[in-house]
């Protein structure tokens, strides 16, 4: 970027912030301390982190909106966001603190919105990082101290903005490779800001990093794909130096285990995504849950779901922390509905598998999961390139049916664990796909996919209620459109979620009966949240579909011409 370009970007930022913030913002924002983040459950009226709390449960103890009165839920107000480019999408989870909402659009523009009146959302300030209009997602911000910490691309940067004024306090350029992106919301832990790198499908060697929260100085950066000689490097057995472009993207925010002082993040697929012959071996630490020490970046443990993945079954989705009593013994656990179609629950201090059961009916890439090791039953340690069941392996010159599809069952959209019912609510896609191998497409110009797939089926959703301790599915309902929004459960007995056809719905958390729904005419690609102001509870969600989510509607004739719009919708009784 030229000096003039940098100055222009800084001027845009200052003007956009001051034009509104200089008018006055009311009361000064409270400090978002580590203690408040640890004890977020004590502030149910707020939504302080990307997943609602460090445990990533997407659960709220608010119950003013409940099964008895949810039929009276109505639109309280809406706010238009973005709107500066065609084909925009909003995938961010809004944060709310003491009557103010902090949200980001696709272009990294951060908004502070006054939601105290309950009748309208007034934009207090906006910080524009001057991001190039690139087709990248942005999934949210983090709060720390008096700062709103966000990410932006072109180049990849982490930016801290004053909650009070909307002015940039610090900015750190972390762009170390071509095509690197930042799309996950940062995670504030103690005095550090943790951020994950994405762009793995384009040949990026991804990483997790921690920055000093006060200054933005890079404290540590750990690459997901080990270099030769590093632990795990023996699982890259190719002669192509595939580790240098091996993927392992981190594009959904991790969880933080306070008791064990570990940050647990899900890791994406290896690159090229469909051609395992280019990168023989298990390809650690892709497709894994990985635990890091947030102070040093030391890897504490890992568990790999699909070694040598050839189906795009990355496991970036939320890893949910739960506490349970089993046979009279208190256990600290982690549960994760994997993209590969199985629900895993494990010990969260070491990754030891407790249960791994299918939550989808149609899975053909493997015969099942070994309940002791968590590895596929047809995994063979003697093979450098796994064949698993052999039914779904990409083959050059053929189209092989794979179930679930490369979109997976549940993916980056969050599932929800209810502390009320002790059940896990998983919105999952049901479609299969036809996949083929294109080994000549390993070059960067072809985005390193190594293959292609097509889906002729209609994209539909199963919302299932499962016991994470046994893997047993208690209830399941079918919805004839795709879900890319994820789920939110509440103490009011509700499970809320949105769909790509523009429907926002509330389900009974015991029966999964639909209790309320509304269609806004524009699809949802972001998770719903709930918050309260002056004792009145609200539900908020961002609309606007990304290209991939819109493609799911294209297979549904009644939705293929649906228009797109980026909005914030807030509902109340």
Integer angstrom CA distances of residue 442 from 348, 405, 445, 453: 36, 21, 8, 15
Structural contact between residues 294 and 258, judged by C-beta atoms closer than 8 angstroms: no
Nearest residue to 547 via CA among 407, 409, 437, 435: 407
pLDDT at 551: 77
Residue-wise pLDDT tens for the chain (573 aa)? 433 444 445 544 544 444 444 444 445 778 999 999 999 999 999 999 999 999 999 999 999 999 999 999 999 999 999 987 777 899 999 999 999 999 999 999 999 999 999 999 999 999 999 988 777 899 999 999 999 999 999 999 999 999 999 999 999 999 999 999 999 999 999 999 999 999 999 999 999 999 999 999 999 999 999 999 999 999 999 999 999 999 999 999 999 999 999 999 999 999 999 999 999 999 999 999 999 999 999 999 999 999 999 999 999 998 999 999 999 999 999 999 999 999 999 999 999 999 999 999 999 999 999 999 999 999 999 999 999 999 999 999 999 999 999 999 999 999 999 999 999 999 999 999 999 998 776 655 456 788 888 888 889 999 999 999 999 999 999 999 999 999 999 999 999 999 999 999 999 999 999 999 999 999 999 999 999 999 999 999 999 987 777 777 777 777 878 888 999 999 999
State residue 441's pLDDT score.
67
Residue 8 phi/psi, 5° resolution?
Answer: -65, -40
In sequence order, which residues have a C-beta less than 8 Å from that of residue 264 and are 6 or more positions away? 254, 255, 256, 257, 289, 290, 291, 292, 319, 321, 334, 348
pLDDT score for 158: 98
Question: Domain map of the chain by residue range?
Answer: 3-129+136-572
Cα atoms in the 13 Å half-sphere on the side-chain side of 477: 16
d(CA 217, CA 221): 11
Assigned CATH topology for domain 3-129+136-572: Methanol Dehydrogenase; Chain A (2.140.10)
Q: Which of 311, 304, 306, 224 is nearest to 273 (CA)?
A: 311
Q: From CA 39, how far away is CA 33, in angstroms rounded?
A: 10
DSSP 107: T
pLDDT at 442: 65
| d(C-alpha 439, C-alpha 390), whole Å | 18
Q: Residue 16, SS3?
A: helix
* Tokens read off for 273: 């995504």
3 state SS of 136:
coil
The whole-angstrom separation of Cα 342 and Cα 362 is 11
**Per DSSP, what are the bridge partners of residue 490?**
60
Element (H, E) at 553: helix 547-554
The DSSP secondary-structure symbol of 29 reads P
Distance CA 18, CA 380 (A): 61
Contacts of 305 (CB under 8 A, 6+ apart): 287, 288, 289, 313, 315, 338, 340, 342, 344, 374
Q: Is 239 exposed, middle or buried (0-12, 13-18, 19+ CB in 10 A)?
A: exposed
pLDDT of residue 9: 52
Provide the token pair at 293.
Answer: 């020490």
Rounded Cα distance, 255 and 334, in Å = 10
- Lookup result for tokens 């696709």: 106
Least Cα distance to 79 among 46, 115, 45, 129 occurs for 115
Residue 513 has a pLDDT of: 98
CA dihedral (403, 405, 409, 410) in degrees, to 10, reads 150
Sole residue written with tokens 């999961």: 369
């Amino acid at each position: 970027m030229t000096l003039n370009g940098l100055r222009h970007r800084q001027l845009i930022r200052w003007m956009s912030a001051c034009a509104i913030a200089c008018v006055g913002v009311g009361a000064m924002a409270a400090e978002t301390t580590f203690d408040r983040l640890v004890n977020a459950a004590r502030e149910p009226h707020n939504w302080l982190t990307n997943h609602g709390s460090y445990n990533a449960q997407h659960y709220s103890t608010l119950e003013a909106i409940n099964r008895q009165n949810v039929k009276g839920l109505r639109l309280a107000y809406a706010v238009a966001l973005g709107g500066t480019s065609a084909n925009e999408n909003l995938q961010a989870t809004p944060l709310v603190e003491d009557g103010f909402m902090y949200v980001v659009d696709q272009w990294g523009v951060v908004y502070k919105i006054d939601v105290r009146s309950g009748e309208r959302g007034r934009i207090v300030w906006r910080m524009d990082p001057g991001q190039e209009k690139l087709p990248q997602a942005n999934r949210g911000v983090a709060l720390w101290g008096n700062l709103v910490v966000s990410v932006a691309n072109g180049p990849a940067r982490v930016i801290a903005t004053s909650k009070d004024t909307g002015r940039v306090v610090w900015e750190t350029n972390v762009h170390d490779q071509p095509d690197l992106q930042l799309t996950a919301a940062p995670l504030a832990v103690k005095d550090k800001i943790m951020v994950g790198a994405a762009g793995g499908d384009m040949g990026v060697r991804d990483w997790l990093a921690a920055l000093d929260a006060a200054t933005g100085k890079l404290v540590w950066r750990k690459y997901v794909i080990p270099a030769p000689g590093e632990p795990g490097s023996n699982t890259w057995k190719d002669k192509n130096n595939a580790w240098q472009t091996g993927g392992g993207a981190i594009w959904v925010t991790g969880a933080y285990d306070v008791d064990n002082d570990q940050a647990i993040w899900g890791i994406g697929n290896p690159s090229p995504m469909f051609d395992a012959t280019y990168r023989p071996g298990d390809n650690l630490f892709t497709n894994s849950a990985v635990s890091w020490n947030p102070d040093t970046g030391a890897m504490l443990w890992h568990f790999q779901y699909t070694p040598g993945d050839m189906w795009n079954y990355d496991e970036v989705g939320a890893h949910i922390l739960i506490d349970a009593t089993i046979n009279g013994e208190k256990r600290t656990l982690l549960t994760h509905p994997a993209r590969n179609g199985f629900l895993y629950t494990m010990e969260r201090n070491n990754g030891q598998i407790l249960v791994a059961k299918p939550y989808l009916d149609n899975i053909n890439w493997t015969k099942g999961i070994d309940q002791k090791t968590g590895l596929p039953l047809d995994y063979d340690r003697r093979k450098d390139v796994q064949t698993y069941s052999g039914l779904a392996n990409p083959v050059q010159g053929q189209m092989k049916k794979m179930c679930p599809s490369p979109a997976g069952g549940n993916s980056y959209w969050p599932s929800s664990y209810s502390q009320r019912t002790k059940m896990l609510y998983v919105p999952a896609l049901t479609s299969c796909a036809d996949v083929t191998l294109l080994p000549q497409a390993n070059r960067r110009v072809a985005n390193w996919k190594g293959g292609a797939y097509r889906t002729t089926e209609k994209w539909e959703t199963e919302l299932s209620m499962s016991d994470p301790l046994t893997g047993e599915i208690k209830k399941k309902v079918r919805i004839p459109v795709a879900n890319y929004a994820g789920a939110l459960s509440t103490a009011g007995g509700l499970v809320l979620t949105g769909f790509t056809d523009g429907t926002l719905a509330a389900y009974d958390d015991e029966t999964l009966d639909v209790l309320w729904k509304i269609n806004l005419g524009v699809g949802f690609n972001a998770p719903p949240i709930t918050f309260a102001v002056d004792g009145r509870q609200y539900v908020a969600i961002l609309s606007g579909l990304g290209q991939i989510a819109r493609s799911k509607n294209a297979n549904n004739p009644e939705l293929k011409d649906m228009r797109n719009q980026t909005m914030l919708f807030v509902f109340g009784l």
